[in-house]
């Protein structure tokens, strides 16, 4: 079951990274968000969703 959860987190992280790269944020902000999502996959994904470029927080 952990494998399925890990795979779903991986897919969500890939989606977030694609959306970050496609956003209109500056290059540095994009880099920092991508690094956050890579280093902290679950927490980074949650933070990006609420506060990141293109997220609900703007």
**Residue-range definition of the domain harbouring residue 18:** 2-51
* Model pLDDT, residue 2: 86
pLDDT of the chain along its 58 residues, tens only?
A: 789 999 999 999 999 999 999 999 889 999 999 999 999 999 999 999 899 876 554 4
- 27 domain-assigned: yes
Number of domains in the chain: 1
- 57 domain-assigned: no
Tell me which residue of 2, 25, 4, 1 sits closest to 16, measured CA to CA: 25
Tell me which residue of 56, 16, 21 sits closest to 40, measured CA to CA: 16
Angle subtended at Cα 7 by Cα 42 and Cα 37, rounded to the nearest 5 degrees = 30
- 29 domain-assigned: yes
- 58 domain-assigned: no
* Model pLDDT, residue 17: 94
């Amino acid at each position: 079951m952990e494998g399925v959860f890990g795979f779903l987190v991986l897919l969500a992280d890939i989606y977030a990274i694609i959306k970050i790269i496609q956003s209109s944020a500056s290059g540095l902000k994009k880099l920092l968000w991508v690094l956050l999502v890579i280093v902290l996959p679950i927490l980074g994904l949650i933070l990006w969703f609420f506060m990141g470029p293109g997220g609900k927080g703007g």
